[in-house]
Amino acid sequence: MTTEVASETEVKKEPEKADEQPVAAQQQDGEEEPEQLAAVQDGVTPRAASPHADRKSKEAKGLSRFLPPWLKRQKSLSRTEPSEDREDKTPTEEQQEAPPSEEASPQEAERDESHSIGSADTQPAKEEKGEGSPERIGDGKEEEDLLESKAGEKDEGKLLKLEAEVEKSSLKPAKKMKTVTCQVTLLDGSLLPCELEKRVRGIVLFAKVCEHLNLLEKDYFGLCYKDHADQKCWLDPAKEIKRQIRNCPWQFAFSVKFYPPDPSQLTEDITRYLLCLQLRQDIASGRLPCSFVTHSLLGSYTLQAEMGDHDPDGHCLDYISDFQFAPSQSKEMEEKVVELYKTHRGMSPAQADAQFLENAKKLSMYGVDLHHAKDSEGVDIMLGVCANGLLIYKDRLRINRFAWPKILKISYKRSNFYIKIRPGEAEQFESSVGFKLPNHRAAKRLWKVCVEHHTFFRLVTPEQPPKARFLTLGSKFRYSGRTQAQTREASTLIDRPAPHFERCSSKRLSRSLDGAPGLGMDDQSGAPGQGLTPGAKNGRDPALELSSDSKDLDKTQEDVLKHQASISELKRNFMESTPEPQPSQWEKRLTASPATSLRLRAQAAFEEEVPSSSVLSSPVAVPTGLPAACTTSVSAAEGDIAVGSPPAAAHVVEKALPRADGSSYSGSDAGKTAEDKQKSDTLEQAEVEIEETVVIKEVRKAPKVEVTVPEVVVTIAVTEKEPEEKTGAEAEGRGDEGVTQRGSTSSDSHSESEDEAEYRPQAPGESIDHIKEVPEEEEELAVEAQPLEAEPAAAPPCPTTEEQESPLKDEAQNGHPEMQSPQGSVEEDEEDEGEPKLNGDASRAETEGLPQVICCSEPPVVKTEMVTISDTFAAQKTEISTTEVPIVHTETKTITYEAAQVDGAGDGEPGVLMTAQTITSESLCTTTTTHITKTLKGGVSETRIEKRIVISGDSDIDHDQALARAIKEAKEQHPDMSVTRVVVHKETEVMEEGKD
């Protein structure tokens, strides 16, 4: 929650920006501000006010020394830097934060979190100090902030959260919280039992383990677990453990995630010792192949470190076979080990470890995280991720190597993994290389590992996560921990006396390896490279994977699995905007979601109002990649906030309508973005956690801007739906392609869905990040941006509550038929809503000057029944049993804010659905549908962008934040548009406590 709060702040800030644009927006802002202020007073100290002092004081404490001074500075700078706007915003954010009570989770614990969060914001330093991992994250983010304040802020939020959580966990153990006992297998093979609150994030456990180990240089390490498929997954420190592991046992292994290329640069012997233990495991398991001689040499150093000098009178041959020097060791090897061991006389254990590492680091597979794959011809190969780049192996042979500097982009789509290679001296064009992974999860896992490794080893500071744009597809996952450079910097500040630690005998180690609960490494899969540090937001691949693919997998019950699968597919579809399944779901959502209905109304109103015309803009663009991108990133919790602070929600942003396509779309469109996540599933699905960002950025601001004032409707619907559709089918294309093409004007969009994600190592800025957490509940945020030329000012939204669910479908359907582009070219892409092709087409169209209309065909049929109960702010819990999924109990709450103006929309003419895109982010599924409506009446072109964000997660979604963020993003992305409607639809599954 905490994190989210931070994010919220950001959101608001953005709105401020919005102020510049449309008058309406300003008005709204104004309203909002007061509230914000109030919130601030409530107890949250405004950041601007006292950041430095707090920090300093905090810094002084414990870990603070660990932090590099410059990092600290940056933080302060970042905070300071923010312009007035920020400050103003800040309060808002805080407000949003404040609402925690609103959040679905009633428990006090949550409140505590929120509070802690608040404190975190104000006093980042403490948090950081408190626990290294959080610090890291924070640092990274903060740095980024400098670069990009907004993004950074978000990050901070996360950090804060994490930190806060950690603190909280430590401070208040579990009163009301349920606790669970987990076991962590340490590198020496021993088990560390930990009592944890069930809801805590990975960072808490990681911090405990590091504390137990007395480890400061922890960025190289991480916790992993085995998922249902027996794949080793890295625990994402930023996400709840429970959501990541699902039903898997609470068993973890502490392991090295990033193998330092030069262990001699590690500051402390204890760190090197732990690395040695990891490498001994790697060697014994065969994951790190060695020659006979090397096995012998490394073994001899192991003996020296653990046994001290060779005792001529001893009978080392008696016990030597208890040590495991190699996957299979011969007597000959043991003799060789002893022979070498004798030569190490006088070497201290630390020296022996250092020598061990000096030899081990040269091994060809040192620190290489291997992944099974097939090349374009279907040949089995292995992809190895290491500090220097990506290695391609066939058998043991390295058939290619792509150093990080050579890689322009890393992406995955479904089970395919792609890298775009920088053209060499001789080549003029970038080339892309594709690989086929066994499944989607594997592709995502590989992608994450690459992102993490690139960031850790190649960057000085973590890249900001991609910023959400209007439509953001795909995973926003970025490594948020410290980079190697940062951790080294931090390590130089370690001034404690070398901690005492016991070296345990590897004899035991080897044994324990066998018996150890799951942690061992999988040779191939297990590899080291995944992100270790807490910093990783998304954590580890595993988490991500889980979320996307895993949804299906994770669930134990087949039904659940299926369900999840369907969900994931849906997401994919949305993301990719594939025609088939998505639309249906999408539409459902629309129907179901009140927001849609609102939109309809709104649209109507707009049409009338809007005079102009012809160009439309953004919505179309959106799909096409054009113009306006509204991204809604909703952090989890926002719904509540939204409710609480309506004003914030509605901002009217004007956007220039970007699309100048030439085509005149006189009718404006209604853009609808639907994001659905149907994740109705239960907590188990943690997958949702995945952050995916779909970026379709941009709207081109076109040249001809019609002064339309777009309205942005933000709908946050939390629904539990069980998607059963298969969306998966189409999704593929859209993300990357669409994005790229679009990119021309404005931005590159990264579309990353669960299915796909892009990462451009070299251009950090491009990416947008949202960090979203998926709570158990699904939330949808729909933001509609409608450009209205005529209506610049968006009246402050009036909060209304709607309970409508169904209407949307109708609209959508209606829209299709009606869609006509002025120019007459109407393209219908049915079934393909979000497809890249669409985007591509659209863009083409733009170029051509011909407007294209894309119709979304019919609404997908949702098998699940939604029962919405509720209204307004107060969340009512209702248990709804879905027919299909009996297990899920849903609580639904819908809150709608509409700008007054909006209401006026004439129902008579439904918008024509020009295009629909679905974007799914990891944590959120976002489906964006753009409806372009041509208004016969006034010849006014209206562009409406509706963005719907569905957040599904196990728990703790900060609705307010999510909403705020969505709004902020929407504004940012569509500066010329106004937010006319915000609908929050919240469905909460009522979990059965017994489970999970």
What residues line the site for other proteins (CB under 8 A)?
Answer: 289-294, 362-365, 388, 391, 394-401, 403, 406, 424-426
Shortest Cβ 934–other proteins spacing (Å): 53
Shortest Cβ 855–other proteins spacing (Å): 47
Shortest Cβ 232–other proteins spacing (Å): 22
Shortest Cβ 363–other proteins spacing (Å): 5
Q: How many CA atoms lie within 13 A of 505 on its CB side?
A: 11
Question: Across the strands, what pairs with 525?
Answer: none
Assess contact for 14 and 89: CB atoms under 8 A.
Answer: yes
Count of other CB atoms within 10 angstroms of residue 345: 11
The DSSP H or E segment spanning 888 is none
- Pick the closer one to other proteins by CB: 330 or 847: 330
Shortest Cβ 459–other proteins spacing (Å): 20
- Pick the closer one to other proteins by CB: 254 or 301: 301
- Pick the closer one to other proteins by CB: 334 or 769: 334
Assess contact for 861 and 584: CB atoms under 8 A.
Answer: yes
- Residues contacting 122, CB < 8 A, separation 6+: 44, 45, 46, 47, 50, 51, 54
- Residues contacting 692, CB < 8 A, separation 6+: 472, 473, 474, 475, 476, 477, 548, 571, 575, 752, 753, 754, 757, 919, 920, 921, 922, 923, 924, 925
- Pick the closer one to other proteins by CB: 252 or 356: 356
- Pick the closer one to other proteins by CB: 346 or 424: 424
- Pick the closer one to other proteins by CB: 290 or 812: 290
Shortest Cβ 287–other proteins spacing (Å): 12
Altogether, the residues listed in the chain come to a count of 996
Shortest Cβ 449–other proteins spacing (Å): 19
> Which two tokens mark 117?
């969060």
- Residues contacting 591, CB < 8 A, separation 6+: 805, 806, 807, 808, 809, 810, 811, 812, 859
Shortest Cβ 375–other proteins spacing (Å): 13
- Pick the closer one to other proteins by CB: 196 or 363: 363
Backbone angles phi, psi at 842, to 5 degrees: -60, -45
DSSP 8-state symbol, 629: -
Assess contact for 104 and 984: CB atoms under 8 A.
Answer: no
**Measured distance CA(587)–CA(833) in Å, rounded:** 11
- Pick the closer one to other proteins by CB: 425 or 495: 425
SS3 at position 640: helix
Shortest Cβ 14–other proteins spacing (Å): 43
**Measured distance CA(857)–CA(100) in Å, rounded:** 40
Token look-up 């300071």 returns: 80
Assess contact for 621 and 701: CB atoms under 8 A.
Answer: no
**Measured distance CA(87)–CA(91) in Å, rounded:** 7
Count of other CB atoms within 10 angstroms of residue 644: 27
- Pick the closer one to other proteins by CB: 221 or 301: 301
Best CA proximity match to 948, nearest among 656, 666, 721, 755: 721
Assess contact for 456 and 484: CB atoms under 8 A.
Answer: yes
- Pick the closer one to other proteins by CB: 289 or 438: 289
Q: In what order do the strands lie in the sheet with 191-197?
A: 191-197, 179-185, 251-256, 221-226, 232-234
SS3 at position 859: coil
Token look-up 């707090």 returns: 54
Backbone angles phi, psi at 181, to 5 degrees: -100, 125
- Pick the closer one to other proteins by CB: 761 or 834: 761
Shortest Cβ 74–other proteins spacing (Å): 32
> Which two tokens mark 523?
């040779």
Shortest Cβ 297–other proteins spacing (Å): 10
**Measured distance CA(862)–CA(806) in Å, rounded:** 11
Token look-up 């109103």 returns: 605
Backbone angles phi, psi at 372, to 5 degrees: -70, 145
- Pick the closer one to other proteins by CB: 327 or 703: 327
Assess contact for 561 and 715: CB atoms under 8 A.
Answer: no
- Pick the closer one to other proteins by CB: 331 or 394: 394
The DSSP H or E segment spanning 303 is helix 292-307
Assess contact for 692 and 757: CB atoms under 8 A.
Answer: yes
The DSSP H or E segment spanning 799 is strand 797-800
Shortest Cβ 430–other proteins spacing (Å): 15
- Pick the closer one to other proteins by CB: 370 or 793: 370
Shortest Cβ 465–other proteins spacing (Å): 30
Assess contact for 859 and 589: CB atoms under 8 A.
Answer: no
- Residues contacting 434, CB < 8 A, separation 6+: 376, 416, 417, 418
Assess contact for 923 and 770: CB atoms under 8 A.
Answer: yes
Shortest Cβ 339–other proteins spacing (Å): 8
Assess contact for 535 and 462: CB atoms under 8 A.
Answer: yes
> Which two tokens mark 487?
């951790």
**Measured distance CA(70)–CA(501) in Å, rounded:** 31
- Pick the closer one to other proteins by CB: 426 or 993: 426
- Pick the closer one to other proteins by CB: 395 or 558: 395
Shortest Cβ 558–other proteins spacing (Å): 41
- Pick the closer one to other proteins by CB: 318 or 426: 426
**Measured distance CA(682)–CA(311) in Å, rounded:** 60
Shortest Cβ 289–other proteins spacing (Å): 4
Shortest Cβ 291–other proteins spacing (Å): 5
Shortest Cβ 388–other proteins spacing (Å): 7
**Measured distance CA(715)–CA(781) in Å, rounded:** 4
- Pick the closer one to other proteins by CB: 23 or 408: 408
